[in-house]
Amino acid sequence: MNTVVQQVLDRSIETVDDLKGKRVLLRIDVNTSLGDNGVVDPGEDWRIVKAYQTIDYLVNHGACVVVLSHIGRNPDDSLKPIYDYMSEYRTIGFIPTYDSTILETSITGMQHGSVLMLENVRQHPGEEVNDSSFLNTVIELCDYYVNDAFSVSHREHASVSDVATRLPAYFGLQFCDEVKNLTKTREANENTVLLLGGAKFDTKFDLLNQFLPKVSYALVGGALANVFLRERGINIGASFADDAVDISSMVTNDKIVLPIDAVDQHGDVIHIDQVGDEDMILDIGPETEQLFETIIAHADTILWNGPMGKYEDGYTAGSIAVADSIAKSDAYSVTGGGDTATVILEEHLEENFDFISTGGGAMLDFLVEGTLPGIDVIINK
């Protein structure tokens, strides 16, 4: 077994014999987009659903669970809508303040098997500079720390890193699943197909560079494909292309498969060598969908990150076609990233994928490095 996987499993919360009455500080990620009415859309609750796995385990073993999470990018954002949604399905309390007196009274009064959610950790400047002093009262009252927030464990934030140095620290069940499945993908054999889409190349260059020697094909769509098309001398018109990285070392690699047709801003399908100066490539076309499907059908392992088109503007057909192709294949399939997961969930294909990672940047970093700061701080204690 991979060393990191074994080290993580050795620090799973399941290895703690007696949790009854113990206060457990649990970091999860229930960062979920809210609808226009300010409430959670049931179709967007997948991170919340995954978080229940460890919460329920701790509750069933009689622990007192103190939950930390974040939401949104604005420090003023509140976890109250997430609490409101979760409280419809679980018995849970909420403290909208980090006032030490209120925290102490609330936490010391917890019953065995109870759950208490604290307010958005990113409301405090200490969170993003890895200073957990704002959590002093909570830490002093807890017996264990559990990290079940894989998706933020590429960041050295207080609730991920600093807290783990101040309490006996373990990994949650979902975190262990992430490490096992992504490691299996990372160590896949040569009959692996990598699919990359999205817009920003700087976040995916290292992954592509590392995986190219060991995959059969790398199917590239989205704005990432525009960079390769342009470097191969094909006119991409007014299409977006990220200039953040130098891809000259891989431009001619014949494992990289690019779109042969595209959907433009008018919704028309055009051949890739017929893109005009004013045209914008916004999705892969039907011939490309068929080409990708043929390659996917022969894969043993599939890793997909990033949509095939400008998904947020309604150019979804290419991503849906790819999701359908993977769902129909017999390959071991792993995917991750917000838009990618949304495609699968909206098409109700999640049961046809072996694993959907909660991580975006964390997933990419783990696949490249084989570990994360949030892992190292616990296994190296």
Expressed as residue numbers, the domain containing 115 is 3-178
Claim to verify: residue 208 and residue 145 sit in the same structural domain? no
Claim to verify: residue 102 and residue 18 sit in the same structural domain? yes
Residues 360-378 as b/e (b if ≥16 CB within 10 A, e otherwise) read bebbbbbbbbbbbbbbbbb
Do the domain assignments include residue 373?
Answer: no
| Residue 36 confidence (pLDDT) | 81
Do the domain assignments include residue 45?
Answer: yes
Question: Per the structure, how many domains does the chain have?
Answer: 2
Listed residues 147, 178, 209: the one ending a domain = 178
Do the domain assignments include residue 127?
Answer: yes
Q: For residue 351, what are the contacts with CB-CB under 8 A and spacing of at least 6?
A: none
Claim to verify: residue 203 and residue 171 sit in the same structural domain? no
pTM over 0.85: yes
Claim to verify: residue 260 and residue 171 sit in the same structural domain? no
Q: Which two tokens stand for residue 271?
A: 């051949």
The strand pairing partners of 23, in sequence order, are 64
Claim to verify: residue 228 and residue 89 sit in the same structural domain? no
| Residue 242 confidence (pLDDT) | 87
Claim to verify: residue 115 and residue 173 sit in the same structural domain? yes
Claim to verify: residue 155 and residue 261 sit in the same structural domain? no
Do the domain assignments include residue 253?
Answer: yes
Claim to verify: residue 42 and residue 167 sit in the same structural domain? yes
**If you write DSSP's letter for every residue of 16-70 in order, what string do you get?**
-S--TT-EEEEE------B-TTSSB-GGG-HHHHHHHHHHHHHHHTT-EEEEE--
Do the domain assignments include residue 183?
Answer: no
Listed residues 178, 199, 227: the one ending a domain = 178
Provide block-wise average pLDDT over 10 residues at a time, the chain (381 residues): 93 97 98 87 88 98 98 90 94 96 97 97 96 96 98 97 98 98 89 93 90 95 95 95 87 96 96 95 98 97 96 95 98 92 93 95 96 98 82
| CATH at 124 | 3.40.50.1260
Claim to verify: residue 194 and residue 340 sit in the same structural domain? yes
Claim to verify: residue 153 and residue 84 sit in the same structural domain? yes
Do the domain assignments include residue 344?
Answer: yes
Claim to verify: residue 75 and residue 214 sit in the same structural domain? no
Listed residues 145, 178, 211: the one ending a domain = 178
